[in-house]
Amino acid sequence: MANLPTRPLGDSGLNVSVVGLGCNNFGRRVDLDGTRAVVDAAIAEGVTFFDTSNSYGDGHSEEFLGDVLQGRRDQVVLATKFGWELADDEGPRGARAYIMEAINDSLRRLRTDFVDYYWYHKPDGVTPIAETLGALHELVKAGKVRAIGASNFSAAQLEEADAAARENGLTRFTAVQNQYSLLVREAEHDVLPTCERLGIGFVPYFPLASGLLTGKYRRGEVATEGRLAGRAIPAEQFDRVEALTWFAEERGVSLLDVAVGGLAAMPAIVSVIAGATTPEQVRANVKAGGWIPSESDLDALRKLR
């Protein structure tokens, strides 16, 4: 197994590979055999952070991972999520009763006694955060969950959750997983500074901007594959892609290197979660994570907007 650098996932006590594997394609675009091939490649490349959700592939992502990780569960930090809208939801998704049922269902599908990291996928807008944190604290104490995080939270929601945890003696969110790439940079305005101040790690999703930062889409063309299939991509996005491409060429690296390695070098970033449908994509993403920009590179990247 290759040695990929690891970083602390906030103050959770967990260390994760700087490039993680997003498992949202499993059970949807990738079948069980394909999942096994991707997972085998990831483990061989030193990826230790596997990120799924009870909503991915209508639960099949968890099921497939539960199958292919048998006998090597201890080699990975396994993260899953609850709280996205599901067809058979009953009651608010941040409520204690909902969470207790959700974790048991995820553990069954994943064929494990515990998950290393449990994300609240999206605030339900109804349940007081102290109730959600209270339920998650119970799961940590029961050993079903080792640590917890938030996803799709604003800076204000992170502040509220952190204060509620501290005031009530509850387990804190140690990381947030929000959308962030060198094309979609809203997180830099307030969420990332909040993470730095509170000591919360940041795990970006869609780091490749749904494929725009892989170089497979062309200006003026309608996308025919991937998440952007059937869409006309705005010209201003290609302006930024081309600026990043020129940045990469000047330094003798690829656009993918910049998208992954450049993002990983930003403050508070713990692990760049990249999805993959083939072993080749896994290997490319891991290789890209090996590019380490200089301070002058980072300064130039920050100015490319």
Sign of CA dihedral 228, 229, 230, 233: positive
The 10s digit of each residue's pLDDT in 174-201 is 999 999 999 999 999 999 999 999 999 9
| Greatest C-alpha distance within the chain | 55
Sequence-ordered strand ranges (E) for 92-158? 115-120, 145-151
> Could you tell me which residue, 224 or 197, shows the higher pLDDT?
197
Are 294 and 233 a contacting pair, CB within 8 Å?
no
- What percent of the chain has pLDDT above 90? 86
* The domain made up of 6-303 is a member of CATH 3.40.1190.20: no
The pLDDT value given to residue 224: 53
55 DSSP 8-state letter: T
The pLDDT value given to residue 252: 97
Which residues carry out catalysis? 56
* Phi, psi torsion values for 51, nearest 5 degrees: -120, 115
Give mean pLDDT, residues 192-221: 89
Give yes or no for residue 220 having a pLDDT over 80: no
The pLDDT value given to residue 86: 83
All structural domains of the chain with their residue ranges: 6-303
Please state, rounded to an integer, the average pLDDT across all residues of the chain. Answer: 94
Confidence category of residue 227, pLDDT binned at 50, 70, 90:
low
> Could you tell me which residue, 87 or 271, shows the higher pLDDT?
271
- What percent of the chain has pLDDT above 70? 94
Q: Which helix (H) or strand (E) holds 299?
A: helix 295-303
Give mean pLDDT, residues 104-108: 98
Give yes or no for residue 57 having a pLDDT over 70: yes
Confidence category of residue 232, pLDDT binned at 50, 70, 90:
low
23-27, 170-174, 209-213, 214-218: lowest mean pLDDT where? 214-218
